[in-house]
Structure 1
C-alpha cells in the first residue's frame, strides 16, 4: 500500500506542476510563489525548478526558526523531486511554447486549464497524507509564531511574496488574483471526487488518524482562503 500512496503522490505532483507550467506560459500572471520563481530565473539565471528548490529549502529553515524546532530534513527529497518535475514540464515539454504574442482568448484558455490542473493535482497529491510542503508549513508557522488567524497568516505571506516577485519583475498580473481566489474552491471540488477513488483502493489509510488530520488541515485552509 505504501507504493500505492507514492504513486498517487507522484501523479498528483505531475498534474500540479503541468498546471503551473501552463500558467507560466499563458503570460497573464501566475500564483505569487511561481511569480517569485520566474522572477528569480529572469534576473539571476538557472531554471524555475532550481529556484523552486532553493526557495523551499530556505522556507524550510525559516519555518524551523519561527517554530523554534529542528528543520524537517525529510522534506528535502520531495522538494528536489518536485523541482525536477516542474523543470520537466516547463523547460523540456513546453520549452518551445510561447504565448506572449498570442490572442488574449488563447492565453486565457491555457491559463484556466492550468488553474484547473493545479486544483486537481493538489487534490491528488495531498491524499496520501505525506508531510506538508514548506509553503503550507509557512502559513502555520506564521500563524503560531505571531498568534494570527490562518486567513491573516496566508494573506500576509501572500502579500510579502507577491511584493518581492513584483519588485524583481515576476509575472504578477490579473491572473495572479484569479488564481488566488479560485484555487481553494477548485481543490475542494476535486478533493471530493478524488477521495472516492482513493478510498476505494486504500480504505484503511483513508480512515487513519494521520489521514483525518491531513483532511481537516486542508479543510481549514479552504474555509479561510
Structure 2
C-alpha cells in the first residue's frame, strides 16, 4: 500500500512540475494547460484553479462517454494536481524567466518527459485518474482506441478551445499535443514492470 501511495503522490508531483516547466518555457504550453492559462488570463483565478474546474467538468463528460456513474473520487486527484501546479508556478518558479532559447527548449523537453513519467506512474496505482487522463482511458475503453490515439483526440480538442481563448499556443503546443500520447505509451510498459516488481518485494 505504501508503494501504491508513493507512486500516486510522486506521479502527481512530477506531473505538476512538468506542466510548470512547459508553461515557463514560453514556447507554447500543452493544449489543456494553454486552455487553463487562457481561462486564467480572460476570466481570472489561478491556473491551478482552472485545472480543478475543468477537471470537474470532465468527470461528468467521461461518465457520459462510458455510460457510467461519475468518478467523483477523481476530485481528490485534480485537487492535488491543481495545488501542485500553483505551488510550482506561483511559489517556486514565479520569478523564474528563461533568458535563452536553449533554456526554453530544455525546459519544454524536460516538462514533457516529467508529465509522461508522472502520468505513467500514478496510473499504475489504480487510484482515480486525472479527468484529462480518464478521458484518454474512457475513449480507449469505449471505442477500443490505443492510448496514443485516445490521448491525441483529447489534446486536439483542448487545443481548439485554447486557441479560441487565446491561450499560450506555439510550436511547443504542437510538439506536446502530438508527442505526449506516444511518450506515455512508451513509458507505460516499463513503468508497469517496475511497479509490479516493487509490489512483490
- Give TM class, smaller chain: 0.7 to 0.9
1:25 and 1:13 mapped to 2: Cα distance? 18
Residue in 2 aligned with 1:106? Answer: 103
1:140 and 1:193 mapped to 2: Cα distance? 19
2:46 and 2:58 mapped to 1: Cα distance? 18
Paired residues for 1:135-150 under 5 Å: 135-141=132-138, 149=145
> What's the CA shift for 1:11?
0.7
> TM-score under structure 1 normalisation?
0.78
Residue in 1 aligned with 2:195? Answer: 198
> What's the CA shift for 1:133?
2.4
2:66 and 2:121 mapped to 1: Cα distance? 28
> What's the CA shift for 1:54?
0.2
Unmatched tracts of structure 1, length 5 or more:
205-225
> What's the CA shift for 1:17?
1.2
> For the structure 1 residues 195 and 64, does the alpha-carbon distance in structure 2 shift closer, same or farther, using more than 3 Å as the test?
closer
> What's the CA shift for 1:61?
1.4
Paired residues for 1:45-194 under 5 Å: 45-99=44-98, 102-141=99-138, 149=145, 154-194=151-191
Unmatched tracts of structure 2, length 5 or more:
none
> TM-score under structure 2 normalisation?
0.86
> What's the CA shift for 1:196?
4.6
User: Matched residue of 1:161: which SS?
Assistant: helix
Which structure's CA Rg is the greater one?
A: 1
Say what the alpha-carbon RMSD is for the aligned residues: 2.5
